[in-house]
Amino acid sequence: MGSLLDALLNLIFPVKSGCPLCGYRGKPEGLCSRCLEWLEGWRKLPKCCLCGKPLAPAEMEKHRCVFCGRDAPPFAMAMAAGPYQGYLKEAIHLLKYRGRKVLAPLLAELMIKVIRSNGHFSQVLAVVPVPASAQRIRERGFNQAELLARYIARELKLPLLSHAVVKKLETPHQTGLSREERQQNLREAFAIADPSEVYGKSVLIIDDVFTTGFTAAALAEALLAAGAGPVYVATAARG
């Protein structure tokens, strides 16, 4: 898919034309054919009907991954725009850790395409970004999930409930932790600030990356306990 250095240079020093994901300049606007084929190829893979994980051959008969087969998540369904690999991973890193907020609309558009392609998501009545702690916001200056959610809510003409949920516990960085450590970190991490905002509503959780799903599950549990439901999840990438 071309040179990673070229792609990074194009993201850091954007030009007016070219693929916004990989930087290829052969296409005047929109994603290039290579990126479109890459994303479409991934989207066509058989996936778990609950968490969206690409299925291994032994899992296909039940349409569930081994983890959801053993312990079904509280959310109804999770979908991602693409895999947490290549240029998509680089774009998320540049947004999240380098403050390249101009990438948020691109990632959000990729997510919107997936959301609109699934009829189950049509019943969603509100959008809730995964909240960040005060410390994380001080470190980065923004919450990347809220940037994505703001754009998605506007395009889908849905209310954005940015303050409906708060992160009441400061959890350590999840990177490098085992599944068990990630799950323990997030137990009772979220609280509903105003249950009346979510009561009786089908809610769409927005985040940048879905890895183990424990963040989405912890937030979904809090929303369901407050009377929301069903709860869906959309992310830019699936780890």
**Sign of the Cα pseudo-torsion (224, 199, 120, 191, in order):** negative
Q: Is residue 114 part of a domain?
A: yes
Q: What is the pLDDT of residue 18?
A: 79
How far is the C-alpha of 132 from the C-alpha of 79, rounded, in Å?
A: 21
Percent of the chain with pLDDT over 70: 84
- The predicted model scores a pTM of 0.86
Residue of 204, 29, 1 whose CA lies nearest to 106: 29
Q: Is residue 216 part of a domain?
A: yes
Confidence grade of residue 218 (pLDDT, cut at 50, 70, 90): very high
Residue of 175, 173, 148, 172 whose CA lies nearest to 162: 148
Are residues 214 and 129 part of one domain?
yes
Interval 71-130: pLDDT, tens: 999 999 999 999 999 999 999 999 999 999 999 999 999 999 999 999 999 999 999 999
CB atoms within 10 A of CB 110: 22
Q: Is residue 234 part of a domain?
A: yes
Q: Which two tokens stand for residue 89?
A: 């991973």
Burial of 103 (0-12, 13-18, 19+ CB in 10 A): buried
The answer to whether residues 228 and 197 touch, using CB atoms and an 8 Å cutoff, is no
Are residues 99 and 22 part of one domain?
no
Which CATH number does the domain housing residue 223 bear?
Answer: 3.40.50.2020
Q: Range of 19's domain?
A: 1-44
Confidence grade of residue 177 (pLDDT, cut at 50, 70, 90): low
Place of tokens 């034309």: 17
The answer to whether residues 124 and 158 touch, using CB atoms and an 8 Å cutoff, is yes
Q: Is residue 138 part of a domain?
A: yes
Question: Beta-strand (E) ranges in the chain?
Answer: 77-83, 126-129, 165-167, 190-192, 203-210, 231-238
How far is the C-alpha of 30 from the C-alpha of 36, rounded, in Å?
A: 10
Are residues 232 and 183 part of one domain?
yes
Q: Is residue 67 part of a domain?
A: no
Domain count, the chain: 2
Q: Is residue 49 part of a domain?
A: no
Q: Count H helices and E strands in the chain, helices first.
A: 10, 6
Q: What is the pLDDT of residue 13?
A: 47
Are residues 212 and 142 part of one domain?
yes
